[in-house]
A = this chain, B = another copy of it.
Amino acid sequence: MDAVFTTPATDRYFEDYQVGATYQLGSVTVSQDEIIAFARLYDPQEMHINPTLAAQGPFGEVIASGWHTIALTMRKLVDNFLPHNGLAAPGIDEVRWPRPVRPGDTLSVRVTIEQARRSRSKPDRGLIHTLVETVNQDGDVVMSLRPMNLVRCRNPQA
């Protein structure tokens, strides 16, 4: 079930996240120059930065660092899903990169809410478990992760 938020990020709280719903967060196209620039800084493996060597490798061209794919995905989560002025996230259960991201790919991000529960120890917040999937222009999932996010409650006393 696709869902949209009825409130802007500045007025978005735990109560607004619907368990079972899927939110579409938009898309981004990644160029070879961007792939190489990110990887030179943070993940300078040959498969990400060296077009000549990568051309002889299993993918035939450079592919994006998996962390670059996640960084582009995170930007969509911040812009189109998380509340403004949110809380720090405790962690992620499971990251997968089932397919490579290639220069020119257009990546779309969707997020499905798998669980949501109020905190017992801190009743002003709740913990949301999601499945985040990043899909290329052919519909193939290139990255998935299962984050936990802490979100403030609109009604801490409820």
A residues bordering B, Cβ < 8 Å? Answer: 41-47, 53, 58-59, 63, 65-67, 70-72, 74-75, 78-79, 82, 84-98, 100
Contact = CB atoms under 8 A, between A and B. Distances in A.
Copy number in this complex? 2
Contact of A78 (B45, B59, B87, B88): B45
A39 to B, nearest CB: 9
Contacts of A84: 46
A84 B93 CA distance: 28
A53 B86 CA distance: 12
Given A53-B85, A88-B100, A97-B91, A78 B47 contact: no
Nearest to A56: B85
